[in-house]
Structure formats: structure tokens, C-alpha cells
A and B are shown apart, each in its own frame.
Chain A
């Protein structure tokens, strides 16, 4: 038993690992930051964080022999609890338009596109600052979701992103946030959940979400 945090070689995993280490218990087992397909196969919980550009993170994932296959097998076939964070959440989609069209894992039908700073603005409004950076409140649609247990509608989480995932199926949309335009905050289906925000940076509420995830039995 263990928690595998997948390392796609894209920057800062230390920060994520520390939050998961804090919430890990005897039941979850130790937390491993790993590129190794076998470690992913043995894990009970799988986390895919991700920072930087979508194509780089995807390339990082694809460059390690057997890693993507192991992820697919463990999450889709075996149904292990999976959490994608930020770009890790965006990777759950079919495709991203960041820099160039890049295929995602195709687990949650939808597309990742740039947040348009001018869309829906009224005349007197200034363009939105991109990245969408800071603490924003979430509107929860699926309040019965076990990973959002004890997290109130309107709770604040820390976001930093310039692209967003738009899902095709309404029932995959679990929470949104309001940045003048509506932004997807949480997506999920079956044993998979993804957050656009960073729970590992979101103080108490973020730690609660991580704890919920680490006790999730989908």
C-alpha cells in the first residue's frame, strides 16, 4: 500500500509531496514521488500533478517506458483512486490547444483551451489578467462527492493557470469557479477526480480534500 505521485519531470513536486506526506496514514502507506511503472502498479492511490505547459508534461509522461501503460491499466482497468492536479487534471481531457494540439489521456471527454481575457466583458471592464492566479471560491455541483466531503460551497482554493478544461458531458463537471467567466474547477467520473486548483497550496481546505481523497473507496 502506498501513494504514488507521478513525476513527469515538470518541475515542482516537492511541494505536492509534502502535503500528501502530511495527510498520509498507516492505511494509505508511504508517499512515493516516482517515474517507475512498477511503483505506480503497486500503489493504492495515484496522483498526477503537473506544472508548466501541457505538451511538456505529456511528453514527460510518454518518455518513460511503460509509465503511461501502467497508469492506464491501474486507473482505467483496475479502478484505483486517481487525482489529477492542475495540468495533471487537464491531461485527463481528449486534447489541449496549448502551443499545439496535443492528445491527453482521453478519460474525461473535453478540450483544454486558453482562457480568453476579453470574453463576456462589459464595456467598462478591463481585460482579465492571465494567468488566473490566486484564491477563488468554488461552486460545487456534486456535493455528495466523497472527495468533497465537508467542503462547503464557496470554499476558497488556490488557482494558477492560463488554460482551462471544458468538459463535454455535464455530469463530469463537479465544481466551477467564477473569474468573470465560468472556469472548470473540479472534474470527475468513477474513480477519477481532477482539480484545476492546487489542494496542496490551499491551506486547511486543500489538506481536507487530500485527506478525503486518501480515504476514498470508489
Chain B
């Protein structure tokens, strides 16, 4: 049976991990490769790097990080943040990434997703959607870390991106992100049930139970989290044991 994927996400800035686990045996806690190796050992099903490098001159640092990680971790690796052109995608894939996630560039020019899926295959194109509840109860797509409204309905957008060839949707609730209150279940459920491709739920995880809620109640195929893993509050193995006890298929 296909198992639920648990995906730790590492925020990388100028080639360094911003928030990382600080285990005693770590030689360099800021090195993304060291962090990736820990998650690899702990049984992560995939790994995601989110590149939050702001300056354009440092943008290539992520390529080196991806390349060094891919030499040591033989599991699927997704890279997001600042993916704006086919050249960006090509460079990341050549460095060893398996998937790229596209967010703002898709909103700015939706056909970019179609062109990318055609060129590189849907299997490596993830569209990341940041959604937020607006007045009237609808969910809308936001960009720039939830600060900029687009006026686009989140469900319609997710469907359009799948039509354009996205192989997976990474959905982040901007209302829940950073709150530790758990996934936005109504949002997750709404999008997951509207699309034919797998949905990765993100934003708001604060405890072990939240992961299984995202799958059982939200209908997500995979769950992604950053800080709960980084600060060592929750171990990947604990999440999987909890899911398994609840009858969800996991890779133990």
C-alpha cells in the first residue's frame, strides 16, 4: 500500500540552514547537508529545501547545497524558492534535485507551469500555493509570504495548475503557518478533494497529532513541516509510530 509521506523542510539562506536541529553530535548545525543526513537517517520520506536567499548574487549557493546533498542522500529532494525560469529548473535538476516547487512565478505567469511540465515532466513540477481565508469565507491565493493578495480563488487555482501539468500541489495555510495550531483542515480538505494529483499539506504543525489529522481529516497524501522537526520537539519516527497506531500506512 502506498504510504503517507513525512517531509521535513529546511529553510536555507545564502547556503546555510536558518533554523536547524542542534544535536550534540553535529559538527556544523548550519550546514544543510549535515541536517539532510540526519533526516535521511531518521526515516524522512522526502526532503524539501526552501531557498530564502534574498540577494541575487547569492542565489547560486543553493545549487552547491543541492549537489552536496544529492551525493549523500538517496531520497527524493524538492527545492523551492525563487524558481522563476526554465533555466532555474534545469540548473536545480542538474545539481541533483528531483522536483522543483513554483509559487510566485506561477501566479505571475501561469503558462510557465505548463511550459515547465511539458519540458521536464509533471513528475518534477510542484506548484506551491499559499492560501488564506478572506472575508466571506473563501480561500484566496496570496504571495510574498502571505502579504500580497492576488484575488485568485484557491480551489480554482489548484485545479488550473493541475490542468497545466503540476504533478503535485504543496498547500500552505497562511492563517496557520507558524501558529502551531495544526493544519487548516477545511482548507486542506477542500483542495485535496478538488484535485486529481497528490496534495502535500503544510503550515501550522505543532504536535504529533496534527500530522495524522492532515491525512485523516484533511485528505492530504503527504505532510510537510519545518520548525517542529528543527527544534527537536517532534521526531520523524514518533510521527510515523503515531500514524501507524492510527492505522495509516507508513514506511517504518
- Chain A residues at the B interface, C-beta cutoff of 8 Å: 10-12, 14-15, 18-19, 22, 51-53, 117, 126-127, 129-137, 156, 158-162, 178-179, 198, 200-203, 206-207
Q: Is the interface of B mostly helix, strand, loop or mixed?
A: loop
- 8 A–B contacts, CB within 8 A, in A order: A18-B74, A22-B71, A51-B124, A130-B196, A135-B5, A159-B2, A160-B76, A160-B123
A51-B75 in contact (CB<8A) = no
CA A19 to CA B76, docked complex, whole Å: 12
Q: Which residue of B has the minimal Cβ distance to A87? A: B121
Q: Which residue of A has the minimal Cβ distance to B120? A: A11
- Contact residue range for chain B? 35 or more
CA A71 to CA B221, docked complex, whole Å: 39
- Chain B residues at the A interface, C-beta cutoff of 8 Å: 1-5, 40, 45, 70-71, 74-77, 93-98, 120-124, 167-168, 193, 196-199, 219, 221-222, 251
CA A15 to CA B98, docked complex, whole Å: 7
Tell me the minimal C-beta distance from A200 to chain B in angstroms.
Answer: 6
B2-A130 in contact (CB<8A) = no
Known contacts A52-B120, A135-B45, A203-B74; 13 additional CB pairs below 8 A are A18-B71, A18-B74, A51-B120, A129-B199, A130-B197, A132-B2, A133-B198, A134-B221, A134-B222, A160-B76, A160-B167, A201-B75, A203-B75
By a CB distance below 8 angstroms, the chain B residues around A51 are: 120-121, 123-124
By a CB distance below 8 angstroms, the chain A residues around B122 are: 131, 162
Q: What are the 3 A-B residue pairs with the smallest beta carbon separation, nearest first?
A: A52-B121, A12-B93, A135-B251
